[in-house]
Amino acid sequence: MNYKKQIVFKKTMRVLLLSLFFSSVISYSQSDKFFNFYLDNLEGLNKVYNKDFIIGSAVSYKDINNPKLSKLIKKHYSSITAENEMKPEALLNNDGSFSWKKADAIMEFAKENDLMVRGHTLIWHKQTPDWFFKDINGNLLEKEKLYERLYEYIKAVMTRYKDVSVWDVVNEAISNDHNSDEIYRDKGSMWYQICGEEFIEVAFRYAHSIDSTKKLFYNDFNLTKPKKLRKTIKMLKSLISKDVPIDGIGIQAHLFVYDSPKLLDNTLKNFSKLNLDIQITELDLSFFKGGDKRMHKDFVFDKEQELNQAKAYESVFKTLKKYSDNISAVTFWGVSDLHSWLNYKPVEGRRNYPLLFNDDYLPKFSFFSIYNLK
């Protein structure tokens, strides 16, 4: 088959698949049949966007051991991020030793399937054991002692996982208080309470000194909020002015289905001016905004809602493609709605449906809205 015929065939196949999906209500009792059909006939999403940016997904230890999920990961993504398995709380035992098993398994899965790995995360005020900040008597460490412990921790992790290409060095250090002009998160952050804002700079310098070949990122959420965006830019400019070895900004992009597209566009426009690499690191589109306490019975995920989400995903990806010269990777925070971190949070018993694949691991309208994006 010559090149032109291949192109026509691919376009025809896309149209036929899309028509099939929209024109019939798939019997989920036949989900295995449809799963294999889509797996065999759809081009990988990573290949659809290979000229724009890397497409990745967060995965868990359970995901890579789930036969269907692992097939979807290998089919559609070129990069993976450990959802929790590389956070300090997951790696550190109470006696100070390391627990490598689950993170090792994710790294091995990536190696076997020729996948890139984003390391997430070296420093976070959450999911870090309390003892990390204390001496043997239970007293808070002095700043210099904490820095010694930090260096040894970063060295151990980065040395073991040399195949990680990108590290989120610091996660969520900017204040999320939209009523305050304070830049840095102090409440709940032992890093800030012991070290002040300089721990961010120190962490990046440590990571760079341990392995100067890795791309080092700062990662945060709510960066489409104007005040949080301004605070983050101010912090990044400060680091750049001090020649801190920072390579990029990670925009988590936990977005709301009904957000205005202008918010993400404004964020990308402003970050693009910093000459830093941009990566979308935790993309999903929730049906519930922060503070929405509706119970599951008060929300019906029907075809209309699914179409609304598909339109939102299309809008998001049009915006991302607009800035593709500045964006090197787009990572979804999960593969299937069934395993989304947004399920049952913050309302117990409430489901969310923020991803591209449904509970049966079949592509949703949202998948096709970005798969066929012109």
Residue spans of the domains in the chain: they are 43-371
pLDDT band at residue 299, thresholds of 50, 70 and 90? confident
Q: What is the pLDDT of residue 162?
A: 98
187 versus 27: the higher-pLDDT residue is 187
**DSSP 8-state secondary structure symbol assigned to residue 184:** B
Tell whether the model's pLDDT for residue 307 goes beyond 90: yes
Q: What is the pLDDT of residue 10?
A: 54
Worst-scoring range by mean pLDDT, 27-41, 164-178, 224-238?
Answer: 27-41
Q: What is the pLDDT of residue 9?
A: 47
Tell whether the model's pLDDT for residue 2 goes beyond 60: no
Q: What is the pLDDT of residue 15?
A: 46
Tell how strand 327-332 and strand 54-59 pair up: parallel
Q: What is the pLDDT of residue 164?
A: 98
306 versus 21: the higher-pLDDT residue is 306
Single out the catalytic residue among 172, 201, 306, 348.
172
For 43-371, CATH gives 3.20.20.80
Rg (CA), the chain: 21
Single out the catalytic residue among 112, 144, 182, 282.
282
Q: What pTM did the predictor assign?
A: 0.92
Q: Is 43 assigned a catalytic role?
A: no
Q: Is 172 assigned a catalytic role?
A: yes
Give bridge partners of residue 217 from the DSSP assignment. Answer: 168, 248
pLDDT band at residue 8, thresholds of 50, 70 and 90? very low
Q: What is the pLDDT of residue 13?
A: 53
E-assigned strands of the chain? Answer: 54-59, 79-82, 116-124, 166-171, 215-220, 248-251, 254-256, 277-286, 327-332
Mean pLDDT on 79-99: 97
Mean pLDDT on 293-315: 89
Q: Mean of the per-residue pLDDT values for the chain? A: 92
Mean pLDDT on 221-242: 98
CA distance linking residue 29 with residue 184, whole number of Å: 51
pLDDT band at residue 18, thresholds of 50, 70 and 90? low
CA proximity to 106, closest of 80, 73, 68, 127: 80
Those residues whose C-beta lies under 8 Å from the C-beta of residue 239, and which sit 6 or more positions away, are: 200, 201, 204, 218, 246
Cβ-based burial of 322 (10 A; exposed 0-12, middle 13-18, buried ≥19): middle
In this prediction, what percent of the chain has a pLDDT beyond 70? 91
CA proximity to 81, closest of 54, 52, 50: 54
